Structure 1
Amino acid sequence: MNKPLIIIGCGGHASVLTDILKLQNRSILGYIDDNPLVRSSPRHIIGDNQKILEYHQDEIHLVNGIGSVGSTKKREYMFRKFKKLGYTFENIIHPSAIIATNVVLEEGVQIMAGVVIQPGVVIGANSIVNTKASVDHDCIIGEHVHLAPGVTLSGNVHVEKRCHVGTGATVIQGIHIGEAALVGAGALVNKDVKKGVKVLGVPAREVGTAIRYQEESHD
């Protein structure tokens, strides 16, 4: 039995998730947000993050509606916070997505419209595979990763946790992308990417340190 849902956040990413859930006739209790200005909007916002604690862990599931542009920090923080408190995050899959039968999707994974995921793929918890991304056979995607719209991963690509792969980027077969790296939009990645770096261009070249890696290093 599907449980009613509370969506964390109410920005653009939450709007996309809401549309998917409506297509599936899921029950949404409301949205929560810590920003009091946001809570004055017409959307059905039921309170701040503490509101979730009024519901027992067995009563509801959560949806992580916080997007991942530039930094995954807040999205990851909310996921970890409520997991420690015993809550479960719903997997969200658009009905148009094509997913092979032996794909592993861990908790809280979100698969958007037009995505194709081929056999042998593993996608870690709280990761986003965004609109029309293509993930070929035997790729391993870590936790808290964002594959932005139109990303193409060829076979046997390994993307470690906390990475962001930007819109329209292409990663050729067998590449390894290190933890907390950032691949810029439109990049062509034809060699391994080190932990915590930012790469841009065709072919992709290292241009500095990723913001998400800097944040993690100072926590």
Structure 2
Amino acid sequence: MFAIYGSGGFGRELIEPAREQLARLRRDPDEIVFIDDNAENWGKTSAGIKILSFDDLKPGDEYVLAIGDGKIRSQLDRKCRNAGLTPTSLHAADAYFGVDTEIGEGSVFCARTMVTASARIGRQFQCNIYSYVAHDCVIGDFVTFAPRVCCNGTIHIADFAYIGAGAVLKQGTSDKPLVIGEGAIVGMGAVVTKNVGPGEVVIGNPATPLKRN
């Protein structure tokens, strides 16, 4: 089975990319199922896809995590691995990947996303519609980009950071990359021109600290 873990809105957004990916691999799109931890949803369908319980999966089944919160994604990833499931990446047909780019397992790249060149991206990265990662960026594990994030060149983003919709991150330099700390949150529409500390929440233009996360 090809399991999308999470049957909410983002999970439904991943149905068509999953169908396209399986078609490219000459696999049956009927392999796609939702996994939901809410017992009330088991046996139902969402957008035509059957909703199953976690216990319905077998070792070797593939999973994609449709959960935006990086810390919850980390917990579910550990749960799936411990059950012998196989993490897989889901890349929309029109996602673009440039030269000399490394991307960890379990990544999700939605439609109209881009990684330009010489980027290093960790495990379970989510890149939502119209977002991009430019040259020489280094991104950690369980990082989330909401739609239309502009991640310009030479930016370092630590594990569990969340970058809100429409945020713009100023390009760094080879000797002084822009740094977004572990677990930081960049609010929607923020324009980040300076480093963001671990756990910090920033909003506005230019982005300023709101509180510690």
Check whether the contact 1:185–1:200 (CA below 8 A) recurs between aligned residues: yes
- Secondary structure, aligned partner of 1:80: helix
Aligned counterpart, 2:175: none
- Equivalent AA in structure 1 for residue 10 of structure 2: H
Q: What are the residue-to-residue correspondences of 1:1-219 with 2, within 5 Å?
A: 4-24=1-21, 25=23, 26=27, 27=29, 28-39=31-42, 41-43=44-46, 44-52=49-57, 55-57=58-60, 60-66=61-67, 68=68, 71-174=69-172, 175-210=178-213
Distance 1:65 1:168 in 2: 20
Distance 2:85 2:42 in 1: 23
Distance 2:72 2:156 in 1: 24
Distance 1:46 1:13 in 2: 15
**Structure 2, unaligned stretches of length 5 or more?**
173-177
- Secondary structure, aligned partner of 2:198: coil
TM-score, scaled relative to structure 1:
0.86
CA shift at 1:46, angstroms?
4.9
Equivalenced residue count is: 200
Check whether the contact 2:190–2:207 (CA below 8 A) recurs between aligned residues: yes
TM-score, scaled relative to structure 2:
0.88
Distance 1:111 1:29 in 2: 17
Distance 1:85 1:42 in 2: 24
Q: Deviations over 1:40-85 (max 9, x none)?
A: 5333435322222xx132xx2112122x1xx433222111221233
State the identity %: 30
Distance 2:122 2:164 in 1: 18
Check whether the contact 1:33–1:45 (CA below 8 A) recurs between aligned residues: no
- Secondary structure, aligned partner of 1:20: helix
CA shift at 1:9, angstroms?
1.5
* CA RMSD after TM alignment: 1.6
Q: Deviations over 1:175-204 (max 9, x none)?
A: 100000000000000000000010000000
Q: Deviations over 1:118-156 (max 9, x none)?
A: 111111111101101121101011111101110001111
Change over 3 Å in CA distance of 1:33–1:140 after alignment to 2: same
Distance 1:78 1:122 in 2: 23
Distance 2:59 2:32 in 1: 14
Distance 2:89 2:193 in 1: 31
Check whether the contact 2:109–2:128 (CA below 8 A) recurs between aligned residues: yes
Q: Deviations over 1:105-130 (max 9, x none)?
A: 11100011111211111111111011
